[in-house]
Amino acid sequence: AQTVTQSQPEMSVQEAETVTLSCTYDTSESNYYLFWYKQPPSRQMILVIRQEAYKQQNATENRFSVNFQKAAKSFSLKISDSQLGDTAMYFCAFIPMYSGGGADGLTFGKGTHLIIQP
Amino acid sequence: DGGITQSPKYLFRKEGQNVTLSCEQNLNHDAMYWYRQDPGQGLRLIYYSQIVNDFQKGDIAEGYSVSREKKESFPLTVTSAQKNPTAFYLCASSPRPDNSYEQYFGPGTRLTVT
C-alpha cells in the first residue's frame, strides 16, 4: 500500500513571492506517476503538474515546477511569482505504473491550503 | 465541449434513505472512479471501473454500490449502511488505465444526510 504525506496543513505568502509545498510518499513500487492537483474554492480538481518516476528531469509547467528526489521519496512543488489566483488547496497524489495499475485510483495526501496575500 | 458532469451539485437526504449520485462523461474514457472528500482530508477511493460491466472496490467501499452499464455513466449509490455519508463526492475518468494515468475530475456533489 502507498501513503502520501503533506506536512504543511497551511501556508501563506505574499503575492509575487516563491513558495514551495512539500510532499513525501512511501511505496515499494519502482515505477509510478506523481501529481500535484489544485482545488480552488469552487472545489474543481485541476491538474497542475505530473512527474513520471523513471524520468530524472524535473517537470515544469510555466510558473510551476517540481523537485523530484526518488531516493528520498520526495516530490515538492515550487510556485514562482505567486498570484492571487493560486490560492487553493494543493494535493499531492501517487499512482503505480504497472499493467492495469492506473485503474487502481490515485492515493492522495491530505492537502496544503495555500493562501496568497495581496 | 467534452467533460464530466455530476448532478446534482447539492443533495440532501434523510438518514436511512439510499441516494444515487450521477456521473456522466463524454470523453470516451474507459476508466471511471469515485472518490470521497472529508474536511481536512485528501480524496479517498470508493470504487473504480476499467470497463463496462466491471468494477472493483477501493479503500472505503463499505456502504456504497456502483454500476457500469454504459461506458459514459458510473452512478454511485450511497446506501443506508454507510455510517457517515455526509461528504463531498468526486467522480473522475481516465482514457485507458494502463497507458494514461492522468485523471479528469467532475465538479463534485455535496451530499448532506440528516
**What are B47-89's pLDDT values in tens digits?**
999 889 999 999 999 999 999 999 999 999 999 889 999 999 9
Q: Do A43 and B94 touch (CB under 8 A)?
A: no
Q: Do A44 and B58 touch (CB under 8 A)?
A: no
Task: With beta carbons less than 8 A apart as the criterion, state whether B20 and B13 touch.
Answer: no
Residues A9-27 have a mean pLDDT of 97
The Cα–Cα gap between B8 and B94 comes to 22
Which of A10-14, A61-65, A87-91, B95-99 has the lowest average pLDDT?
B95-99
The Cα–Cα gap between B7 and A114 comes to 28
Q: Do B98 and A4 touch (CB under 8 A)?
A: no
What pLDDT sits at residue A38? 97
Sole residue written with cell 482545488: A39
Cell of A11: 501556508
pLDDT digits (tens, 9 = 90+) for B5-58: 999 999 999 999 999 999 999 999 999 999 999 988 889 999 999 889 999 999
Q: Which of B72, B65, B69 is nearest to B53 (CA)?
A: B69
Coil, helix or strand at residue A118:
coil
CA nearest B106 in A: which residue?
A44
Size of interface A-B (CB pairs under 8 A): 70
Sole residue written with cell 446506501: B79
Cross-strand partners of B23: B6
CA nearest B55 in A: which residue?
A103
